[in-house]
Amino acid sequence: MSTEYKEPAPYKRGEANPFESMMVRFDKAAELCKLDEGLYNYLKYPVKQVIVSIPVMMDSGKLEVFEGYRVIHDNILGPSKGGIRYAPDVDLDEVKALASWMTWKCAIANIPYGGAKGGVKCDPSKLSKLELEKITRRYTANMLDVFGPDTDIPAPDMNTDEQVMAWIMDTYSMHKRNTVTGVVTGKPIVIGGSRGRREATGRGVMIATLSALKKMEINPEDTTCVVQGFGNVGSVSADLLHKQGVKIVAISDVSGGYYNPNGIHVQEAIDYVAKHKNLAGGNFGDKVSNEELLELPCDILVPAAKEDQISAHNAGNIKAKLIVEGANGPTSADADQILRDKQIMVIPDILANSGGVIVSYFEWVQDRIGYFWEEDDVNNRLNRMMREAFENVYSTALKYDTTLRLGAYVYAIEKVAEVLKLRGIYG
Ligand code: GLU
């Protein structure tokens, strides 16, 4: 079979190709679980890749054209699911990797979805609200045949929020001539969003961390934690971990980081960011760069910023005992073995940050039945599903004598392959 593992070319930090990073792990996992060659080829490539051009009349009166993507990796377990990111450097390769990760993430979480991802190449920091709305509506209009509550369901991702989801829902509904709340998740609560969705990814990070600490027989109250990224995922993770007794000793965002071995006042940092947009100019501890931050002494490291922050370049210097991947793809493939040799437990992204898509699933269910749950119901169900997912990945890793990352891939691949075999190939 063609799943032979090859070492990836040495990457410089931040330059790894996310699709290759994903494929290296997929290949290794496929080898471990002896995936049939035909199924390997089926699962390797996305079923659909759509590129659209998005003409927008800018506030200046100038016409600009943006490029938008939606990649459906598969729809084996159900309609495809995954966020949409707006960023100047987003490209098809990144979206392809992120779409496959969604497949594995949904399979691990035991929710009935395939994987997808979307993106628009633009710089939201340079766009007015009206320009952002126009891009979103035209992107949605161009994707009318792709999106749908039974076919493909977008959600927020990097630089997209509840407002963007509301515009997507409205544009889709206008074309369909009725309100279709279930076409997108991560909406504001008043228009069919779910309680607890905004905090869900960070809450999931906290639950996964507690599950791992229990296996390691470490009391959360005896631990220190460094969080890279202070957006929705990083800030909620820091806050909820702090509430479990974990001491947060460093935080950072695009503007840089702060280290305080006595503990950072997380709520103050959250209030500061609400007022000033980011951490720049704050007084939370000694200033450190984002690179230095990753190498600080701590027990738990939560990379919740961007892809490829941990690579062969710096993995050897990491002091944490546990890494919990709040971001998608924060560790490039060339770091995996180094971290394993250092006996650092890594809870992989496709497990650690699955709280977001789990509560997206709850939102979609609530939209479909038209009955909305209390926040406690959402959080309790999330807690149960995350813990179950952790146990499934943990026991698969033990069974195959491998890392949690490869355990997660194997669990997901075996599940998707089983369903694919049962459904069979049409044609
Ligand atoms: N963008 C989030 C993720 O990467 C959420 C996706 C969703 O809720 O569909 O998991």
Is the per-residue pLDDT at 153 higher than 80? yes
**pLDDT value, residue 92:** 95
Distance CA 186, CA 167 (A): 12
Nearest Cα neighbor of 136 from 181, 184, 94, 188 is: 184
Q: How many residues are recorded in the chain?
A: 427
370 burial type by CB count under 10 A (0-12 exposed, 13-18 middle, 19+ buried) = exposed
One-letter amino acid at 84 equals: I
Q: How far is CA 132 from the centre of its chain?
A: 22
| 14 has pLDDT over 60 | no
Tens digits of residue pLDDT in 331-346: 999 999 999 999 999 9
Q: Which CATH class is domain 45-181?
A: alpha beta
Decide: 80 and 361 in contact? Cβ < 8 Å: no
Question: What is the pLDDT, as a whole number, of residue 330?
Answer: 95
Instruction: For the domain covering 200-347, report its CATH number.
Output: 3.40.50.720
Domain ranges (residues) in the chain = 45-181, 200-347
- In this prediction, residue 97 has a pLDDT band, given cuts at 50, 70 and 90, of very high
Name the nearest CA neighbour of 223 among 236, 210, 235.
Answer: 210
115 CA to centre of ligand 1 in angstroms: 10
Q: Strand 256-259 to strand 247-253: parallel, antiparallel, or no bridges (unpaired)?
A: antiparallel
134: left (phi over 0), alpha (psi -120 to 50) or beta: alpha
Mean pLDDT of all residues in 95-114: 97
Could you tell me the distance, in angstroms and rounded to a whole number, from the CA of residue 319 to the centre of ligand 1?
29
Token pair listed for 415: 């599940």
Given the CA of residue 113, which atom of ligand 1 is nearest to it? Answer: 9
DSSP 304: -
Neighbours of 95 (CB within 10 A): 28
Q: Compute the average pLDDT of residues 90-95.
A: 94
Alpha carbon of 360 to ligand 1 centroid (Å): 8
Mean residue pLDDT across the chain: 95
Is 200-347 in the same CATH topology as 45-181? yes
Instruction: Report the pLDDT value the prediction gives residue 40, as an integer from 0 to 100.
Output: 96
**pLDDT tens-digit series, residues 222-248:** 999 999 999 999 999 999 999 999 999
Cβ-in-10-Å burial (0-12, 13-18, 19+) of 201 comes to: buried
Q: Does the pLDDT value for residue 6 go beyond 80?
A: no
Question: What pTM value is reported for the model?
Answer: 0.95
What is the pLDDT, as a whole number, of residue 100? 96
- For the record, the structure tokens of 356 come out as 């977001």
The residue with tokens 């919990």 is 324
Pocket test for ligand 1, best of 77, 199, 201 (most atoms within 8 A of CB): 201
> Which residues does ligand 1 sit against, CB inside 6 Å?
81-83, 105, 155, 157, 185, 328, 353, 356-357, 360
Is residue 5 predicted with pLDDT exceeding 80? no
Answer yes or no: is pLDDT of 323 > 70. yes
Please tell me the predicted confidence (pLDDT) of residue 20.
84
Question: Would you state the pLDDT for residue 17?
Answer: 78
Q: What's the half-sphere exposure (Cβ side, CA atoms, 13 Å) at 307?
A: 25
**What is the pLDDT, as a whole number, of residue 13?**
33
DSSP state at residue 9 = P
Tell me the one-letter amino acid at 418: E
- The per-residue pLDDT for range 253-271, each reduced to its tens digit, is 999 999 999 999 999 999 9
Distance 84 CA to ligand 1 centre (A): 8
Place of tokens 């760069």: 289
Please check the confidence at residue 8 and state whether its pLDDT lies above 50.
no
Share of the chain above pLDDT 70, in %: 96
pLDDT more than 90, % of the chain: 94
Average pLDDT over residues 144-170: 97
Per-residue confidence at 7, pLDDT binned at 50, 70, 90?
very low
Q: What angle do CA 294, 296, 298 make, to 5 degrees?
A: 105
Structure tokens belonging to residue 229 = 């990224």
Is residue 117 among the annotated active site residues?
A: yes
